[in-house]
């Protein structure tokens, strides 16, 4: 091969060799430029730590469930129901006073007398307020009661006089099912005799004895509102005639009303004793309910 040709080939080879070296350098520079910097060996490498599983806290202990307890009811009491009141004046007396005034006076005095003997007593009204007939029996039926006594005064012919007591048997149909249930009987089964008749007889006898009033007896009036809609033994006492001259004077007399109250209380407590009730089963309480 001629030298010039050799030199030409050498120059070409040198040229391509230099070009290849330059391309390699450029490629390396471009490649390393995109690499992340090497970590310095002087800096400790912290390996990613695997998080420890978080311990599951024990389930909280649920609060103890209180054992179901029967609702606590106050002990049964006596309900005194002074008739009329408020916008319902009742009968008009010869002296221009209305029945509602005397019914409230006697009802309150009777409640005081019974409480003094240790009985718990509630009043359907304790002031000159209007209370519907239905509200009176609804109040009495809110919980078990020993009995209900409604206090009224009569009117009639001027010669009519005396004291009489009413009760209702059977009760209103909607109450008979409740009475059967309370007695543990199925509907239609004969109920034991109603205690209201015996309560009426006891009050009638004692009140007439205490006041010397004419005894007009006891009467069953199944449709009388308060007594027919009350679950407990219930009576209505017509304590005398506001239209009778002598009885009207008696009713205005506080000493006669005291005798009447003593007689009513005696008849009530006598029946309660016969029925096996005592004040110890109905402790007196300062928070006697007045309502409804």
| Residue 279 beta carbon to Zn ion: minimum distance, rounded to whole angstroms | 29
Nearer to Zn ion, 102 or 256 (CB): 102
| Residue 155 beta carbon to Zn ion: minimum distance, rounded to whole angstroms | 9
Q: Dump the DSSP string for 27-87.
A: HHHHHHHTSPPPPPTTSPPPPPPPPPPPPPPPPPPPPPPPPP-PPP-PPP-EEEEE--BTT
Is residue 136 within the footprint of Zn ion (CB under 5 A)? no
| Residue 287 beta carbon to Zn ion: minimum distance, rounded to whole angstroms | 29
Nearer to Zn ion, 75 or 217 (CB): 217
Residue pair 246/81 in contact (Cβ under 8 Å)? The answer is no
Stretch of residues binding Zn ion (CB under 5 A), selected from 3-11, 17-25, 35-43, 148-156: 148-156
| Residue 152 beta carbon to Zn ion: minimum distance, rounded to whole angstroms | 3
Cα–Cα distances (Å) from 271 to 39, 211, 223, 239, 261, in that order, read 107, 19, 24, 18, 16
User: How many residues line the site for Zn ion (CB under 5 A)?
Assistant: 3
φ, ψ (nearest 5 deg) of residue 273 = -65, -45
Return the number of other C-beta atoms located less than 10 Å from residue 43's C-beta. Answer: 7
Quick note: the x/- pattern for Zn ion over 75-94, rule CB under 5 A, is: --------x------x----
Rounded Cα–Cα distance for residues 117 and 233 (Å): 20
Nearer to Zn ion, 147 or 224 (CB): 224
Nearer to Zn ion, 120 or 152 (CB): 152
| Residue 74 beta carbon to Zn ion: minimum distance, rounded to whole angstroms | 29
Can you read off the two tokens belonging to residue 200?
A: 């009426």
The conformational region for residue 118 under phi > 0 = left, psi -120 to 50 = alpha, else beta, is left
Is residue 263 within the footprint of Zn ion (CB under 5 A)? no
Nearer to Zn ion, 241 or 271 (CB): 241
| Residue 207 beta carbon to Zn ion: minimum distance, rounded to whole angstroms | 16
In a 10 Å sphere around its CB, with 0-12 CB exposed, 13-18 middle and 19+ buried, how is residue 24 labelled? exposed
Is residue 152 within the footprint of Zn ion (CB under 5 A)? yes
Contacts of 171 (CB under 8 A, 6+ apart): 179, 222, 228, 229, 230, 231
Give the DSSP letter of residue 101: H
Residue pair 153/239 in contact (Cβ under 8 Å)? The answer is yes
Nearer to Zn ion, 90 or 93 (CB): 90
Residue pair 100/87 in contact (Cβ under 8 Å)? The answer is no
Nearer to Zn ion, 243 or 269 (CB): 243
| Residue 90 beta carbon to Zn ion: minimum distance, rounded to whole angstroms | 5
| Residue 103 beta carbon to Zn ion: minimum distance, rounded to whole angstroms | 7
Residue pair 268/200 in contact (Cβ under 8 Å)? The answer is no
The closest residue (CB) to Zn ion is 152
Nearer to Zn ion, 85 or 233 (CB): 85
Binding-site ranges for Zn ion (CB under 5 A): 83, 90, 152
């Amino acid at each position: 091969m001629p030298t010039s040709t050799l030199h030409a080939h050498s120059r070409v080879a040198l040229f391509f060799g230099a070009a290849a070296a330059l391309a390699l350098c450029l490629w390396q520079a471009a490649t390393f430029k995109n690499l992340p910097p090497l970590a310095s060996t002087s800096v400790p490498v912290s390996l990613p730590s695997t998080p420890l599983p978080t311990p599951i806290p024990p389930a909280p202990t649920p609060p103890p469930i209180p054992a179901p307890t029967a609702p606590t009811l106050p002990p049964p009491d006596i309900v005194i129901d002074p008739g009329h009141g408020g916008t319902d004046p009742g009968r008009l007396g010869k002296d221009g006073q209305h029945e509602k005034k005397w019914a409230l006076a006697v009802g309150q005095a009777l409640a005081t007398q019974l409480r003094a003997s240790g009985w718990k007593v509630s009043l359907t009204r304790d002031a000159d307020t209007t209370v519907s007939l239905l509200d009176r029996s609804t109040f009495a039926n809110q919980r078990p009661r020993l009995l209900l006594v409604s206090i009224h005064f009569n009117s009639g012919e001027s010669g009519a006089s005396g004291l009489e007591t009413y009760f209702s048997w059977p009760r209103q149909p909607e109450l008979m099912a409740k009475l059967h249930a309370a007695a543990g009987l199925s509907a239609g089964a004969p109920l034991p005799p109603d205690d209201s008749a015996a309560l009426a007889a006891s009050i009638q006898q004692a009140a007439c004895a205490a006041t010397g009033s004419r005894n007009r007896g006891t009467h069953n009036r199944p449709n009388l509102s308060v007594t027919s809609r009350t679950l407990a033994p219930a009576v209505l006492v017509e304590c005398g005639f506001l239209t009778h001259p002598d009885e009207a004077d008696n009713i205005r007399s506080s000493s006669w009303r005291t005798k009447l109250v003593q007689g009513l209380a005696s008849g009530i407590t006598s029946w309660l004793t016969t029925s096996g009730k005592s004040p110890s089963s109905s402790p007196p309480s300062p928070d006697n309910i007045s309502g409804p």
